[in-house]
Amino acid sequence: MNIKVVGKNIEITAAIKEYIEKRVERLEKFEAKNTEVTVVCSVEREEQIVEIQINQNGEFIRIEEKNNDLYASVDLAIDKAERQLRKEKEKRVDKNREESLKEKVLGLFKGGDEENIGKVTKTKCYDLKPITLEDAKLKLEDEKDTLFMPFVNVETKEVNVLYKREDGSYGIVVPE
């Protein structure tokens, strides 16, 4: 992490620079490669203004805080930067988790070789005992890697397929 401290209309003393660098180090846990942090301190009338510019691999975040005390402005700006970086990191993690789940699901349907096109290459067996819809939901929740649950519905005596939808609700496929 490259940290640069700049002063506009204010002299940056060694104590101020050390304090800012110490506080900016808290942001290292959210650091991506090639992160550049520029802290600009300035004074307008009686307000001490701290502007933090963070450049992470082309993603640019800018935070500005004003207060009568320079150290308070630094603390407020760092807290705000930490919240924004945590939010961005969570988005990246969720996106990666979503992509890996997508790959896992697509992997269930992919075959390995082109020579297997049109052939049945995997068989999964289900115990089709008559159960209620609620029991089928419980079984589907218990099996984390299962996308759907075929079962014989106790009420209709027909084979139904239960699946979990993206919004957390369930769908059911019934024969006509």
Q: What is the pLDDT of residue 107?
A: 65
Spatial strand order of the sheet with 47-56 comes to 2-8, 35-44, 47-56, 59-67
Give the pLDDT of residue 75. 92
pTM of this structure: 0.53
What is the rounded distance in angstroms from the CA atom of residue 150 to the CA atom of residue 2? 56
Answer whether CATH 3.30.870.10 is correct for domain 2-107: no
Give me the CATH code for the 130-173 domain, please. 3.30.505.50
Sign of CA dihedral 8, 10, 14, 19: negative
Domain boundaries defined on the chain? 2-107, 130-173
Which residue, chain included where needed, has tokens 């290459």?
A: 121
Q: What angle do CA 96, 102, 103 make, to 5 degrees?
A: 90
> Would the CATH topology of 2-107 be identical to that of 130-173?
no
Q: Check if the beta carbon of residue 5 is closer than 8 Å to that of residue 12.
A: yes
What tens-digit pLDDT sequence spans the chain (176 residues)? 788 999 998 888 999 999 998 988 888 877 666 788 899 999 988 899 999 998 887 788 899 999 999 999 999 999 998 888 888 888 877 777 777 776 766 666 665 566 767 777 777 777 788 999 888 888 888 877 778 889 899 988 899 998 888 888 889 998 88
